A and B are shown apart, each in its own frame.
Chain A
Amino acid sequence: MQEHDERQLTDAELDAALRTWGAPAAPAGLRGKVLGGRERRSWWSWLAGGSIRVPVPVAVAVLLVVVAGLFAVARLRPRLVTRVEYREVAVPLSSISFQGLQPVDELRPRIIRRSHAHN
């Protein structure tokens, strides 16, 4: 190479040298670094472990839309209403015991005149 530095090469010599020169082989990991292996990943593997670069304004806008949507759904959803119904059930008086006694069927007043009062 020292010899080459000391004199001018002719075009023929340069052509000959160019024909004999071979480009060095690319590093083994260069392809993977440049392409990131994307062209070989399937959709399923991308869905499982892929990522998307999203600009911050877009992410914030999407987040706001989602929050607003949830709020609207919560407001539109019918509120939980508790309804209590009372039903009047006929119970025979004879089935209710008052220390072995039963209520009378009818209150029948007996008037005890003052002049006849006793006890």
Chain B
Amino acid sequence: MRTTSLVLLFVCGMAAFAADRRTGSLLVFNGTFGDAGVALHVDMVSEPPGYKEGPSGYTTEAGGIFHHYVVNDSRVAYFGYDVKMEQVPGTSKIRVLIEPLSLTAEKLNEMSARSADKPDFSRLRVLVLPKYPPPQIIEAGDTIALDLLVSPDGKQKVVDYLTFTLKK
């Protein structure tokens, strides 16, 4: 059985890597995945700046899984995605899998137990996007941009920038 270690990392990430933030940055994550040999930097960005962020968070699991969830403002639903990554053996390439959020409501509640503004995830609906991308093969140092939220007129977006590097 996979050993799961849920850690709130975005607070540490915001403090330690403030210099890596993009304009309009809402939430930053930095972590390394020992099993995968990959370092990941994530920046959740409002484009253009000004979007008021709702409850959201990053978590990781031992074994190299990154989770990002976002809760809607009326707190009736949330959605997110998982990222699994691994170095392609013998190359500087990284294989990235973007999949539906696999965290259960119980794990999310456990993870956010210390947060004063935490929602009760067991009462929320989880939104599963109709389609997820196929595996991506990228070079170390490349960034994957994922649009998460968009306004009806398309002028306001929230984008996740995921930059993958290899551990030295």
Chain A residues in the interface with B (C-beta under 8 A)? 89, 91, 93, 96-114, 117, 119
**Which residue from A102, A106, A107, A110 sits with its C-beta under 8 Å from B152?**
A102
Whole-angstrom distance between the alpha carbons of A117 and B70 in the complex? 26
On chain A, the residues within 8 Å of B77 by CB distance are: 91, 96
22 pairs, CB–CB < 8 Å, chain A vs chain B: A91-B77, A93-B129, A96-B72, A97-B73, A98-B70, A98-B72, A99-B51, A99-B54, A101-B157, A103-B79, A105-B129, A105-B131, A107-B98, A107-B131, A108-B147, A109-B133, A109-B136, A110-B145, A112-B161, A113-B142, A114-B141, A114-B143
Task: Quote the shortest CB–CB distance from B139 to chain A (angstroms).
Answer: 7
Q: Mark B129-168, 1 if CB is under 8 A from A, else 0.
A: 1111100101111111111111110001110010100000
Query: A-B pairs with the 7 shortest C-beta distances?
Result: A114-B141, A101-B149, A112-B143, A106-B131, A110-B145, A98-B72, A109-B144
Task: Quote the shortest CB–CB distance from A101 to chain B (angstroms).
Answer: 4
Is B22 an interface residue when CB atoms closer than 8 A count as contact? yes
- Assuming the contacts A99-B51, A106-B131, asked whether A112 and B142 have C-beta atoms less than 8 A apart, the reply is yes
Whole-angstrom distance between the alpha carbons of A21 and B148 in the complex? 127
User: A91-B127, A98-B54, A107-B148 are known contacts; what are 9 more A-B pairs with Cβ within 8 Å?
Assistant: A91-B77, A97-B73, A99-B73, A100-B156, A101-B151, A104-B149, A105-B131, A109-B144, A112-B143
Whole-angstrom distance between the alpha carbons of A108 and B150 in the complex? 13
Q: Which residue of B lies closest to A104 (CB)?
A: B147
Q: Mark B71-96, 1 if CB is under 8 A from A, else 0.
A: 01110110101000000000000001
Whole-angstrom distance between the alpha carbons of A13 and B129 in the complex? 132
Whole-angstrom distance between the alpha carbons of A110 and B142 in the complex? 10
On chain B, the residues within 8 Å of A102 by CB distance are: 149-152
- Assuming the contacts A98-B73, A111-B138, asked whether A103 and B143 have C-beta atoms less than 8 A apart, the reply is no
On chain A, the residues within 8 Å of B73 by CB distance are: 97-99
Whole-angstrom distance between the alpha carbons of A67 and B23 in the complex? 80
Q: Assess whether B149 is in contact with A103, with CB atoms less than 8 Å apart.
A: yes
Is B125 an interface residue when CB atoms closer than 8 A count as contact? yes
Whole-angstrom distance between the alpha carbons of A104 and B148 in the complex? 6
